[in-house]
Structure 1
Amino acid sequence: MKDIILKVENISKQYRLGTVGTGTLSHDLNRWWHTIRGKEDPYLKVGETNDRSSKGNSEYVWALQDINFEVERGEVLGIIGKNGAGKSTLLKILSKVTAPTTGTIKSRGRIASLLEVGTGFNPELTGRENIYLNGAILGMTKKEITSKLDEIIAFSGCERYIDTPTKRYSSGMTVRLAFAVAAFLEPEILVVDEVLAVGDAEFQKKAIGKMQDISRSEGRTVLFVSHNMAAVKSLCTKGLLIENGKIVMQGDIDEAVDLYMRRSVFSYQSNNYIDFKLTGKEIQISRFEIISINSKGERHISNSVLMGNSIRFKIHVEAVRKVHNIKASVILTNTNGIKVTAIRSHEICDNVFESDGSFVFELHADDLNLMPGDYLVTIALAENNETISLKEECLGFSVIANDVFGTGKIPKGNYFIFSRAKWELSQK
């Protein structure tokens, strides 16, 4: 039998754009009139999908629509999606910060939330006083909080400032203390939004380790939202992918992350190029292409590259004046957010690139030797050491497995590159 600790059924959340509250008095009266007649809220029938990138016609928008999922005790659920997809809205509903428009939530046990930096903290109180305040909000007794106090302070690393008002804390210190309170006061469900990104590398590692401990060793449940796919993959057991307020996929975390990256980055033309909107600047990138070259030397623009093939990266630049000392960079990142390599023109070439007008910068990458997988490309343009254009993770491509050694054996493993090195055996 499944030990379900959290069940979400048909959760939807509707907002009226540009308005605090439910809107006008006439709308409220209309809702009241429908309610006393036992009829449905008339404004639930209107509203548009939560797509932040497009301008809609309705003044109502569905931040979430028909969200259904279950979480088992001890499970770590990673909730992923683009900015504005509805992740934080879902966590606020689960944490009872805001109420859903429709649907129900059933949970067993206390829920502790880290939704924003300093959530639940009174800036006028000291760190120690805020520990007791937050513990009380979570339903803990003073005795329970006192028994965990030393552990909380030690984990947060804020011992020297624990009797200082938190208004004098940095955002990183505040997050450290807030996370320590939420983690050590033993809630049955821990809800963590992107706040950990505020902390330094040491604290992020400690926090992720602590979340692994409380889920695996102590059997408590964690809901984790982050744009750091490496952290999500290492921590979470299941994934929930949200797009435009709707669940696109739920299941294995690796499959959810892979689908997220593909939908986020590989949503351009299948020919794998992107045209950028021109803004009237004197120098700007207008187009970027990825070209695969096969063993016969044939070139084709594609979003898939056979393992071992050469790649060309073409940066088209519009310029209305002479360009001096121009430099370009191509940075490759894998779908876990780990930078694989950076190729910079000024590190490779001694000559100074100049142009009297528009030009194309082409990078010949014949020795990348990338392992199979999906890769994201960031491009940058600089003039006289000043960055004039940066397009982060603007395009992606897939490397397809191939018999690169001609042995019938394809290199395996979770690595970035393969090597064409030679093995040799000699007698002693």
Structure 2
Amino acid sequence: MFNAIKVENLSKAYQLGQIGTGTVSRDLERWFARIRGKEDPFLKIGETNAQNSKSTSDIVWSLRDINFEIEQGKAVGVIGRNGAGKSTLLKILSKITAPTTGKISGQGRIASLLEVGTGFHPELSGRENIFLNGAILGMRKKEITRKLDEIVDFAGIERYLDTPVKRYSSGMYVRLAFAVAAHLESEILIVDEVLAVGDAEFQKKCLGKMGEVSKGEGRTVLFVSHNMSMINQLCSSSIYLKNGMLELYSSTKKAIDSYLAESTATAHKNLEIVFNENESDENVQLNVFKMEAHFENSSDFLSSKDVNVQFGFKIFEKVLGLRIGFEIVSPSTDLCVFRTFHDDDCEEMLAFEPGEYILSAQIPKDLLNIGEYFIYPTIGIHNIKWLSFKTHQLHLNIINIGGVNNLYSDERPGVLAPKINWNINHGKI
């Protein structure tokens, strides 16, 4: 088995702010170093891509000293936080951008799907773009024609095939782009987070196709996603990037465990978020979102006790139909466990007068299974708008202690483990 992709000492540096070193003499020094094959003298060593920290340099390393090999026919996931360098890596592998140092090698043609509409000409129809993409991959017209019906059927856009793609919705764009990338004759398929635009049914269809491409056709798949369940289902091994560096290249389970452990460590352990004024709008200012701890300075919560959640907010002008709530997400699957709002049991929209309010809710005991969760605040005004706070999360770790509080004698699968009432009687139904 040969390597489809080999990456050696790969680094990519970007200059922040205006391009240039600041003086003509330094620009000439940089140019002279380049023509002699020497390293850029103004790329400072040790500047990693940490978005939440300041730096003394205007050079940032989006990737730094990356080394790995991928065998033909393997499906490999790429995971990491936003800004970790995932998309930069895929752009270099797709030859969209060049590395600053290091090299990549491999065998086979590459079909990449990095952004909505990648490789499409907006003025051309869907049909014409299929032939254009095939030609770029070096396919003959007869080969593309043979695949055309299969591509159109998979994308489900037959009615709009001869319409200019600039009139497509983002979902239609992705359906056609994925169908083209997956069905045309390429040895390596690279897919970025773009599938998140599609609906759940199409995502499942794409996942099945990528598995078929990898296992059935022996083609190599490189897949970036924040959806850990998708990565786990498709990929046997994964690359975990952190601040532009290769943290781990191992089995998917080990990579995901390492990534989630890091995500949990950076979550809000103080169980309270205080919001800035610039995060409000003309109607409402969310001041505080918090949970009442079961243990001092800990995000551990007993499954046998309710979890109290509180909102502190201010209303500037009278508002009708305000909905305040939260959603709980399982980080291991990236799936929403449930979402709830304060007016779920109200038949009519509620009106809030100007003033300050405290809103409380309880997550019932014996509902969530043992494990870790993220909880996000959600605010909306009915049929008008939503205020999303996905960048703000509290960490919720449901535990049992010493068997005393165990509801069940065995370990239960799933994210919910509710206590269900059962009755048993003699007789027939």
**TM-score where L is the length of structure 2:** 0.85
Equivalent residue for 1:88? 87
Q: State the SS of the aligned residue for 1:45.
A: coil
Q: Residue 147 of structure 1: CA displacement? A: 2.3
Distance 1:121 1:359, change over 3 A: closer
Q: Counterpart of 1:286 in structure 2: which amino acid? A: N
Aligned length: 422
3-state SS of paired residue (2:159): helix
The equivalent of 1:108 in structure 2 is: 107
Contact persistence 2:322–2:352 (CA under 8 A): yes
Distance 1:319 1:258, change over 3 A: farther
Counterpart in the other structure of 1:370:
368
User: Aligned to 2:278, what secondary structure does the other structure show?
Assistant: coil
Structure 1 residue 213: deviation in Å?
0.8
Counterpart of 2:303 in structure 1 is 307
Give distance in 2, aligned partners of 1:309 and 1:423.
25
Q: Distance in 2 between matches of 1:383 and 1:34?
A: 59
Q: Would the alpha carbon gap of residues 353 and 101 (structure 1) be closer, same or farther in structure 2, given more than 3 Å must change?
A: same
Number of the residue aligned with 2:214? 215
Q: Within 1, Cα distance between the matches of 2:409 and 2:309? A: 29
SS in 1 for 2:277: coil
Number of the residue aligned with 1:13 = 12
Compared with structure 1, are the counterparts of its residues 36 and 202 closer, same or farther at alpha carbon in structure 2 (3 Å cutoff)? closer
Q: 1:31 to 1:398 in 2, by over 3 A?
A: same
Change (3 A) 1:87 1:427: same
- 2:77·2:252 contact (CA, 8 Å) conserved in 1? yes
C-alpha distance in structure 2 between counterparts of 1:177 and 1:23, whole Å: 45
Deviation of 1:140 (Å) = 2.0
Give distance in 2, aligned partners of 1:109 and 1:62: 28
SS of the residue aligned with 2:369?
A: coil
Q: Which residue of 2 aligns with 1:249?
A: 248
1:206 CA drift (Å): 1.9
> What are the superposed Cα offsets for residues 44-96 of structure 1, whole Å, 9 maximum, x if unpaired?
33573223344443221111111122222222222122332211111000001
Q: 1:193 to 1:280 in 2, by over 3 A?
A: closer
Residue-by-residue CA offset, 1:390-416 (whole Å, 9 max, x unaligned): 433521212225647768713322342
**Contact between 2:44 and 2:59, CA under 8 Å: does it hold in 1?**
no
Shift of 1:196: 1.8
Q: Residue 312 of structure 2 aligns with which residue? A: 316
Percent of counterpart pairs with the same letter?
46
Is residue 315–residue 352 contact of structure 2 (8 Å, CA) maintained in 1?
no
CA–CA separation in structure 2 for the residues paired with 1:139 and 1:404: 66
Q: TM-score, normalised by structure 1?
A: 0.85
1:75 aligns to 2:74 (yes or no): yes
Q: Which letter maps to 2:298?
A: S
CA-atom RMSD in angstroms: 3.4
Q: 1:311 to 1:300 in 2, by over 3 A?
A: farther
Distance 1:215 1:427 in 2: 54
Contact 2:301 2:396 in 1 (8 A): yes
How do residues 99-138 of structure 1 correspond to structure 2 at under 5 angstroms?
Answer: 99-138=98-137
Say which SS state the counterpart of residue 74 (structure 1) adopts: coil
CA contact (8 A) 1:47 1:59 kept: no
In structure 1, give the amino acid aligned to 2:303: M
How far did 1:157 drift? 1.9
**Greater shift in the superposed pair: 97-106 or 417-426:** 417-426
> Which amino acid is the alignment partner of residue 103 of structure 1?
G
Which moved further from structure 2: 79-88 or 53-62? Answer: 53-62
Q: Is residue 2:336 matched to residue 1:339?
A: yes
How far apart are residue 21 of structure 1 and its match? Answer: 8.1
Q: 1:408 to 1:81 in 2, by over 3 A?
A: closer
Structure 2 counterpart SS, 1:178: helix
What is the rounded CA distance, in whole Å, between the counterparts of 1:386 and 1:161 in structure 2?
31
CA distance in 2, matches of 1:350, 1:368: 28
Distance verdict in 2 for CA 1:23–1:217, change over 3 Å: farther
Contact 1:283 1:388 in 2 (8 A): no
Q: Does 1:421 align with 2:417?
A: no
Q: Distance in 1 between matches of 2:380 and 2:152?
A: 46
Change beyond 3 A, Cα 1:179–1:419: same
Q: For 1:332 and 1:134, how far apart are their aligned partners in 2?
A: 41
Are the equivalent residues in 2 in contact too, given 1:286–1:318 (CA < 8 A)?
A: yes
Change (3 A) 1:213 1:286: same
Question: What SS does structure 2 have at the residue aligned with 1:41?
Answer: coil
8 A contact 2:321–2:351 mirrored in 1: yes
What is residue 296 of structure 1 aligned with on the other side? none
- Three-state SS of the structure 2 residue aligned to 1:370 is coil
Encode CA deviations 1:120-147: one digit per residue, 9 max, x unaligned: 2223333223222211211223332232
Residue 328 of structure 1 corresponds to which residue in structure 2?
324
- Secondary structure in 1 matching 2:43: helix
Query: 1:411 — aligned with what?
Result: 411
Instruction: Give the unaligned 5+ runs of structure 1.
Output: 294-298
Where 1:61 maps in the other structure, the secondary structure is: strand
Paired AA for residue 3 in structure 2: I
Q: Is the 8 A contact 1:47 1:61 kept in 2?
A: no
Distance in 1 of aligned mates of 2:125 and 2:159: 12
Alpha-carbon separation, structure 2, partners of 1:180 and 1:310: 47
Q: Do the aligned partners of residues 77 and 30 (structure 1) sit closer, same or farther apart at CA in structure 2, a change above 3 Å counting? A: same
